[in-house]
A and B are shown apart, each in its own frame.
Chain A
């Protein structure tokens, strides 16, 4: 049960008992067994109305009919109070109390006290306005409640001190009953606690410095003041000292005690602040000691902080760029040297998706303050709050000029070496082929020549594969995407194999046009076909199937060969993977073909998958984006041209 609900329920029960005391005429119930004067029945009724209102609006803003009901209850609670004030100020006859007290007219003072009426006029509307908040965050309900609390407090303190004037407040003949004061304090506490995270209550419930200060200081200050005042009165009444000394001693005593209190709180806060400062300093020094450049922005992309590595890399000091637009200050270029627009930036994508985004290859460069361009790699992520809301972003920028240099060295080395290897290989392959064609030697000689020729061909394929892998890994492989007719591509690729093998082409979609790199698609088809031919019986057919649907073309190459095991399938696309099975090992291959194929397809926006049953055959299926067909009007046209073609 929430504190507000608890206040409403306890108050409600106590008041029903009190009202019972009036109705059944049991004086001890009315006066809490004689400790206090009686609570007026009108007061009890007003309390019940307030308690019911608070109960309905507890914990969450009421809506619709419920809100109306809360307003009516709170409004009714102020009626006897308004009448009482009218009676006191304007001299109206005491109608309300007399009617209720008709059974026992001599039971006066059974009327509502003036401070009680004032308190109801503050707390009643407070319940009705519980969720009203101004643009600047002011909650009138809280101010009214805090003001209203002073009246019962006056009553309680007045009773402790034995000062009836304080209990009567501005006048009237009746003092506020003790239990009335206590129920008021309970009600006011309930109202404040019903919205623990709104207005001033937010500071109270917060775990931070303000919360600590308020929670500690407010009750202790009240206690100190009340005790000091009481001691002063006690001494004065006993005649130990006169009023002048009493006032002086009270002031000094209060000042001393309050100072001691404030010192204690200050020490607490100081420790809290030291901890926070340490945490902030740790964050700063961690950020400062990171070797990569780090930028932190707010949710709108404005720079909050840059670390020394970024200051050095970009050429801007933190003071110069704080608060400025991150994208404006740190300009990034793409592979073509064009400025990357705002929504293309990794940080923007990270903040939209809430995920970590990393740049690939050497495409991105940073423009330094002087206009100099540095190759960089970028990792961006969003800073998310407790409710996963985006609070800002972090971008880590790494200067990769050294890596790029090394990589360029590596690729020029590979290119030189492969060039140097290819020239002698040209002689071996060329002359062995000429000898095979021209020389009429014995069987051994011919076999030797065939071995030389075959091996040089293998060697040249291996060099080509290694070059492809080197290009894939350095991210320098590029695709020239254009519309490619899949039928034409498949026919071209199958043609060289068709001489020695039964290669079947099944076109489920004749006009399928993929968006692909013509040469790379040819390489993919050749790789898959040569695998299918290599790993299956020469008498079995190899089938190439072309299908289209859902924006993607699907091409599969199917053989009835030796197939693959589950373990083989799982590692099929890894670099240098070759199955341990002897029938695979005796067939020449580098274990690079499918790795290259997969990368070539991904470069063109496609994918590849494999399905296989050992001993039954393998089906390799790849996808490529289809060219968007423009509207239904173009379909018959395509059909027509296909007919002409046949």
Chain B
């Protein structure tokens, strides 16, 4: 069973991800702020992390930077999940070391395809 962490302060977004990926081959971990997300990632070592950019206590970009700086967690695939779509925002995500960028609003099934794509790539 693969582990997937979704960090977003919006309960609805977390529910959306959970309901979309339910029944798939995933154990879904949830965090509602940046610090919790970081702690959970360090404790559980999920393969895929979906990070909201704007979260209380620690921003998604900061969490991503910390994860990528730590050899224990650097191997996880990080996808930023955000409503910010400007060129500068995308560039900031890349700079923080994110592996992908997914913009809100999103189609849950498109998200599922993207997740599966990434997982398959990891597996091969």
Query: Are A418 and B105 touching (Cβ within 8 A)?
Result: no
Judged by a CB distance under 8 angstroms, whether A134 is at the interface is no
Give the CA-CA distance A60 to B48 in the complex, in Å.
91
Q: Encode contact with A along B65-88: 1 for CB under 8 Å, 0 otherwise.
A: 000000000000000000111110
Contacts of A425 in B (CB 8 A): 104-105
> Contact between B16 and A422 (Cβ–Cβ < 8 Å)?
no
State the majority secondary structure of interface residues on A.
helix
Does A89 touch B at the CB level, under 8 Å? no
User: For the complex, is A419 an interface residue (Cβ under 8 Å from B)?
Assistant: yes
Q: State how many residues of chain B have any CB contact under 8 Å with chain A.
A: 18
Interchain CA distance A418-B104 in the complex, whole Å: 11
Check A430 against B86 for contact (C-beta < 8 Å): no
What chain A residues lie within 8 Å of B105 (beta carbons)? 422, 425-426, 428-430, 456, 460
A227 at the interface (CB under 8 A from B): no
Q: How far is the CA of A456 from the CA of B105 in the complex (A)?
A: 9
- Chain A residues, Cβ within 8 Å of B107: 429-430, 433
Residues of B within 8 A of A434 (CB): 16, 19-20, 108
Task: Summarize B's interface: helix, strand, loop or mixed.
Answer: loop
Which chain A residues border B85 with CB–CB below 8 Å? 464, 467
A480 — nearest CB in chain B belongs to which residue? B87
In the complex, the number of residue pairs spanning A and B with C-beta atoms less than 8 Å apart equals 55
Q: Does A415 sit at the interface, judged by CB under 8 A?
A: yes
Q: How far is the CA of A430 from the CA of B19 in the complex (A)?
A: 10
Number of A positions contacting B (CB below 8 A) = 21
In the complex, what residues of A have CB within 8 A of residue B19's CB? 434
Asked whether B16 lies within 8 Å of A426 as measured between CB atoms, the reply is yes
Q: State whether B108 touches A419 (Cβ < 8 A).
A: no
Complex Cα distance A431/B13, Å? 10
Q: A508 to B75, alpha carbons, bound, how many Å?
A: 46
Q: A576 CA to B22 CA in the complex, in Å?
A: 42
B10 contacts the other chain (Cβ, under 8 Å)? Answer: yes
- In this assembly, does B106 line the interface, its C-beta being within 8 Å of a C-beta of chain A? yes
Contacts of A427 in B (CB 8 A): 10, 12-13, 16
Min CB distance, B38 to chain A, in Å? 22
Which of A419, A423, A430, A478 is the one whose CB lies under 8 Å from B87? A478
* Chain B positions within 8 Å of A429 at CB level: 105-107
Distance A467 CA – B89 CA, assembled complex (angstroms): 13
In angstroms, Cα B85 to Cα A464, docked, is 8
Question: A415–B89 Cα gap in the complex (Å)?
Answer: 11
How many whole Å from B112's CB to the nearest CB in chain A? Answer: 10
Q: Which residues of B are in contact with A by a Cβ distance under 8 Å?
A: 10, 12-13, 16, 19-20, 54, 83-87, 104-109
Q: List 25 A-B contacts (CB under 8 A).
A: A419-B84, A422-B104, A423-B10, A423-B83, A423-B104, A426-B12, A426-B13, A426-B16, A426-B83, A426-B105, A426-B106, A427-B10, A427-B12, A429-B105, A430-B107, A430-B108, A433-B107, A433-B108, A433-B109, A434-B108, A460-B105, A464-B85, A467-B85, A471-B86, A478-B87
A: which residues have CB within 8 A of B? 415, 418-419, 422-423, 425-431, 433-434, 437, 456, 460, 464, 467, 471, 478
Which 10 interchain pairs have the tightest Cβ spacing?
A422-B83, A426-B105, A430-B16, A426-B104, A419-B83, A425-B105, A429-B105, A427-B12, A422-B104, A430-B108
